[in-house]
Amino acid sequence: MKQLIWFRNDLRLRDNPTVAAALQSCANNEPIFGLYLYSEAQWQAHDWAPIKVDLLLRHLKELQQEAAQWGIALHIKSVRDWQTVPRVVRDFCAEHEIQQVYWNCEYPLHEQRRDRATRNWLTDNGVAVTSFHGEVLVPPILRTQAGAYYKKFTPYFKAWQQHLRTTGLPKPYEKPNRTAVQCPSFPETVDYARRDSSAWVVGEHAVWQQLDAFVAEQVRDYNADRDLPAIHGTSKLSAYFELGALGPVTAARRLQQLAPEFPDGLNEGAHTWLSELAWREFYQHLMDAEPRLSWGQAFQPHTDAFPWNDSATDFQAWCEGRTGYPIVDAGMRQLQQEGWMHNRVRMIVANFLVKDLHIDWRKGERFFMQNLIDGSFPANNGGWQWSASTGTDAVPYFRVFNPTSQSQKVDPDGSYIRKYVPELAHCPQREIHAPEQWLKLSDVDYPTPIVDHKEAREGFLRKFKAL
């Protein structure tokens, strides 16, 4: 029986339940097809960053070649948009006489609609469909005792860990002893802006090496180091989780090597990193439970009445890193230069946009997606709504980050600021976080703060409380 693996954001061969199922069901001499569909129009509609597209295509090329060695012919095809996908998949199955299709579920609304339509088209044409939850460790099935989905992370995390204790991790599988196949052609041209992502490795082997190095050398101190943007304290694996080049099962299995009683027994750093994996899945859980999140609506509907500031000048200053607050400007310039920003700084710049400049969080959410190499719709939406106090389990609205004190806390000697705001390279450490006085005595072209934090904070609290 001919099999098809429909790849999505699960671009890996190992620890992928669709690949495991196809290999188990298929005899060595039977063909296995792979299919990856992309749409430039869909990328545009979902604000995919050019650097993310570049990383995707580089990794796809590596995956396609390795899949051929596994005996899987991975075809990569362009489609106009998601509405045309059911017909394209049906026609591909008809052309290659495929009788069984496997895929991993995706949870945003458009993807769920696409999959329902595709399943209907295939089953109507006699093609069997089996779906898995290969993008998460725990499917979005967790419920409270009252039968509702979890709206707070802490109880969700407890239930999430209990699910892992009960089910355990799936067993790994090795590269099969199958005859290699000819590698299908790779798209010669893609009609989408590209930005060089060569600073990021591609290919499963290279990504696994990066994971191994992080777990061996850094995860123990992760709980302390993750908040310091001047050091290499985070895993920088988020882009690979987003593409599915790295599966959550692989990451969990590495942690299990540190504590056989996993998910218990981990040291503080490893446990903190495990909670970050759970946060990623919590936001997918919410996306599955609340379709309105896919439409750009706030989780707390009453907050959509907030009187946002529409100042294009303020927003542009934030985008370009010209706010006059060094830690905010350093973060935004890192994003522009590298297509990535340290996670703690993401929280600071997001809080500043919403609670100091009073600009709609959706504008920031979109700008991040347009520039981040690891832009994830569920995680990005969840993070922005957390910062804006509009989402579930959000930071209380009265908690407004002071960008100066945050800067002193996370970048005490100003190393991060000096790297990305070179105008302040020679600013003394005692003034680097609020350099207004130093600027008056020096010939440096750096803006004064575009907003008074104390006044902006009071205005935000007043407006939010009125809701």
Give per-residue pLDDT as tens, 194-205: 999 999 999 999
| Cis geometry, peptide bond prior to residue 229 (ω within 30 degrees of 0) | no
Please indicate if the annotation marks 106 as binding a ligand.
Answer: no
Give which of 136, 119, 102, 120 is closest to 25, Cα–Cα.
102
- Residue 151 assigned to a binding site: no
Is the pLDDT at 457 greater than 80? The verdict is yes
| Threshold 0.85, pTM exceeds | yes
* Per-residue exposure over 367-405, b if at least 16 CB sit within 10 Å of its own CB, e if not: bbbebbbbbbbbbbbbbbbbbbbbbbbbbebeebbbbee
Averaged pLDDT score across all residues of the chain? 96
Q: What is the pLDDT of residue 310?
A: 95
Q: Is residue 186 a known part of a binding site?
A: no
Question: Which pLDDT tens digit goes with each residue over 229-247?
Answer: 999 999 999 999 999 999 9
Q: How far is CA 394 from CA 81, 311, 399, 461, in A?
A: 34, 25, 10, 15
415 marked as binding residue = no
- Quick check: 126 pLDDT over 90? yes
Give CATH for domain 3-134. 3.40.50.620
Residue 222 assigned as binding residue: yes
Q: Is 268 annotated as a binding residue?
A: no
State the pLDDT confidence band at 398, using cuts at 50, 70 and 90.
confident
Please name the CATH architecture into which domain 136-171+202-289 falls. Answer: Alpha Horseshoe (1.25)
* Tens-place pLDDT, residues 30-48: 889 999 999 999 999 999 9
**Number of CB atoms found within 10 A of residue 285's CB:** 26
| 282 marked among binding-site residues | yes
Instruction: Say whether pLDDT at 395 is over 80.
Output: no
Rounded to whole angstroms, what are the CA distances from 218 to 200, 236, 338, 345? 19, 12, 22, 20
Three-class SS state of 72: strand
**SS3 assignment, position 295:** helix
Whether 237 has a binding-site annotation, put simply, is yes
Strands of 10-132, DSSP E: 32-38, 72-78, 100-104, 128-132
Q: pLDDT tens digits for 342-381?
A: 999 999 999 999 999 999 999 999 999 999 999 999 999 9
442 is in an annotated binding site: no
Q: pLDDT by residue (tens digit) across 317-348?
A: 999 999 999 999 999 999 999 999 999 999 99
pLDDT(394) > 80: no
Mean pLDDT, residues 302-311: 95
Domain 301-466 has CATH 1.10.579.10: yes
The set of catalytic residues is 276, 279, 308, 343, 361, 384
Ligand-binding site membership of 275 (annotated): no
CATH code 1.25.40.80 region(s) in the chain: 136-171+202-289
Domain with CATH 3.40.50.620 in the chain: 3-134
The length of the chain in residues reads 467
Query: Using CA atoms, how far apart are residues 372 and 337, in angstroms rounded to an integer?
Result: 11
- pLDDT of 15 reads 97
109 is in an annotated binding site: no
CATH 1.10.579.10 range(s) for the chain read: 301-466
Give residue-wise pLDDT tens across range 219-230.
999 999 999 999
pLDDT band at 397 (very low <50, low <70, confident <90, very high): confident
